[in-house]
Structure 1
């Protein structure tokens, strides 16, 4: 996050004002009206990137259960990426592909797509995460401030911290159990010697 970008409020407001067409039902297995692959292709083209057929195939959707939320969030992220201020920035193509691919998948695995439109904190989380992946930060914030705020509201980071905490607790429990076994063995050895 080395480059100043723009008014964070303008992008979060853009999310709040998203057209209904971007909130439609994604086309999955022949059902739904929103062709997310076409939206992704168009937005990437706006940024000067010709999306490969392989990349776009990931936005076709084969299973409503597995793909619906991810595709819906991809359309929402594309609405953000289509902002005129972002179109005017020379964004690295791998970062753009990462936003519509990996970032969207990570966020969709945790939070329903429409929450990123209807909930103010989730809107800010999506905008901040998108900017961070693109190497940008909100205007007027230092890199540390931008990272701290993203960390404070990021469901992805909360999930990672919880997983790490669970792992640490599991390891501590294993160590306690091993120590208790060792004490019990030493005590049994002492009793058999006496």
Structure 2
């Protein structure tokens, strides 16, 4: 297999490759057993939204032989109103008291979605994407926070293995059960 390199999304072509990988991993494209076994992504973005999310902190990508084989989307809290399904999450995050301080008053960024191409799963790319994200963002933020559907057991295990702490579980407005997980990157100054 070709060497994997971690980078940022730099072009429209990169963003289109992210969208193609995302579409292939939406629940509607997977069988129920496949979604349970392999994991899935919940939100479908469009090119305009993905482009806006890519500034000021670009998305993190994994490349092999020049092709994007994985991504982790960076989403500042200013994007909260752009994705209605995520409003609950931002409200929950901002209300959580973590280490004696309300997260809404802290320096956090949301990892909006992570996905690895099926052929590349189980090869450390998930951890590599988060390591690259922490390296690039630790000077700007103290925490990376994301939300995972509790039924997405593969993603729950992978985030735990990557060092994320489950800080809240709640039922969203759609009836889905969610976990909000946090990775402390405050000690990793770039």
TM over 0.5: same fold?
no
**Structure 1 length as normaliser, TM-score?**
0.27
Which is richer in strand?
Answer: 2
**Structure 2 length as normaliser, TM-score?**
0.27
Which is richer in helix?
Answer: 1
